Structure 1
Amino acid sequence: MKLAQRVKALTPSSTLAITAKAKELKAQGQDVIGLGAGEPDFNTPQHIIDAAVKSMNEGHTKYTATAGLPLLKEEISEKFKKDQGLVYDASEIIVTNGAKHALYTLFQVILDEGDEVIIPIPYWVSYPEQVKLAGGTPVYVEGLENNEFKITPEQMAQAITDRTKAVIINSPSNPTGMVYSEEELRALGQVCLEHDILIVSDEIYEKLIYGKAKHVSIAQLSQELKEHTILINGVSKSHSMTGWRIGYAAGNKAVIKAMTNLASHSTSNPTTPAQYGAIAAYSGTQEPVEEMRQAFEERLNIIYDKLVAVPGFECIKPQGAFYLFPNAKKAAELSGFQTVDDFAKSLLEEVKVAVIPGSGFGAPDNIRLSYATSLELLEKAVERIHQFVESKMK
């Protein structure tokens, strides 16, 4: 069977591949510590689970409207009002099978063959692949490490051509954990307005912010920017509901309608009991969200100091999400490896620590470590990495 060209060009998700390999080794009885997972290690809060079970017992197991339950869209709308002061009505919101599905569907409806999407480096692994699947062309702009991996308005302006359709802004960022300030977003937004470029604002990590950092949505900065922005979000990271697959997009009514039409021919609707769980997530207590955020911040503050003590590791302290993204080039060289990819591979093979090579995010000198695991395991993992580098240096 001959496969379509569009899938032949796809690069498999490095994050899922490493996580799968770590789980495979664990199943074989090996003492593997997996730092590759992009999901909280907390269970979904009980009141959300109870709401989903209750919905099923009450017979809510059938199709829903393609764009999601009206009540869930009301809760999402209320969340926008409360958190960002943004007003979206039901026709401007679509509920999807995870935020990844929202992004995929969005690119399918806005891109024609050859349209360009500006993607800052480092990037989440699925952005370029989704753009390519829609016939678009990724245009990469490198967020320099000395600028906290964030791109500048000047860099964006230089990347714009007459084929530029959109730019992706992910704040807090996966994989870096960096957060764009209000001032930085205003400057980037001004460039987008001048060139009539759609802003795809991925805010899935908005609830996981640390220190003095503050999450700002570019859509809340002005009405004009709101009209030029499609917001992407979901309950996966904020409420530890990764497996429930509930995300959403909000923005231009015509774009949302097109996304709804496409979804009607692909997924029909998001999973019904999961939508009832998401209603409870937004309408119920937010204490578990804050408890989880505090736990992540505590882990970050403890493990960061230990990580930067590893010979050859350099790392900017993240302000959000649950990832550390150290530059490991010197550590790899000190350990006798030509590439960071080889260094990461040996960490898994020799000391059973699974990290994600930065090459999957467009940053081959870095590795991504998730601290969405217990502090005990994090400390043990970093100790293994430290000992591994020192042993190779001898």
Structure 2
Amino acid sequence: MVKENRLLKVAPIVKNYALEPHFVEERGRIRKIYTNKGVFALKKIDPKHGGDFIRHVQSLFQKGYNRIVPIFPAVDGRYAVLHENELYYLMPWLANEVKENRFERNQQLFRELARLHTLSVREVTISKEDRAEHYEKTLLEWEKENEFLLGFIESCERREYLSPFELMFSLSYHDISQALQFSIKRFKTWYEKTEESEKARTVIIHGKVSTEHFLFDDKGHGYFTNFEKSRLGSPLHDLLPFLSRTLKTYPKRSEECIEWIYTYLKYFPFKEDELLLFQSYFAHPGAVIRSAENYFKASDRKGERKSVLHFQRQYWLLKNTEYILMRIEEIEAQKKQAKAMEEAEGQGGAQN
């Protein structure tokens, strides 16, 4: 009965593609459909995202980017079909069998993400006033966070007995404060270098980059899917959330993340100001500060253990991020030193 209901639901949709469904499997918001012409994936999306989604995917195809799971047009040429106030689109079903380890899969993901950004990059005009407004608003928010940290640590220092959370915050305060100061310093340097500029690079961002949205065919080629949240924006909007999720784990020195970042930068090199902004946002300890703020504001402290565990996870993220940033600093310093040596050698050779 359930199988018959599934077939009845998808039949009028796939009819638009001249397909006859034989069997349907529910996979969350995706339906795996076995038809008279093969196996397909039918995806349901919010109609309000449909226009931008189709436009961005078509734009990437036109620019020559082919590492997107193809979207099949309906018989009448539409790339999405409206049915009962829901929007659907059809794709081939990819096996997505794991033939490489996690490191190599993510290495390919970052390489393809860089290619996607490279093919869609364009300069846009940003007024000095808008840049200044963003700078001042962000800096004000971060300075308020710094004031909170100072207030909370002073409150803890005045107590004779600390709660488990207050003790953990006190022990972590120096690292959190250092991360925030690093973030602010990089942000100020970024603004100093771009204050007079009225240009910035934007790309088509995927909007929800994850290993679940990077699928592999039977030849081991990776393809992006789930472009429903794609939009024009800074490439940082794709990079930072992925890195944050990857590093939100137990304390570790993730050399893998360093490799992934520099794989991306090999194919889509950041300008100096873009790297400064990346470092600033990446370093910002927002998650651990919010955890402390939520505890500080809570009227009921019965969930002490839960609050401590949550804070600890955010602190681990901060420390994992700190290691990545330290390694980036080392690598960039080595690159500058090597460049300086090359220039010095070149000048020496010219004099001879």
**Please, what TM-score do these two structures have when normalized by structure 1?**
0.25
Question: Which structure shows the higher helix fraction?
Answer: 2
Of structures 1 and 2, the larger Rg is shown by: 2
Higher relative contact order (CA 8 A, sep 6+): 1
**Please, what TM-score do these two structures have when normalized by structure 2?**
0.27
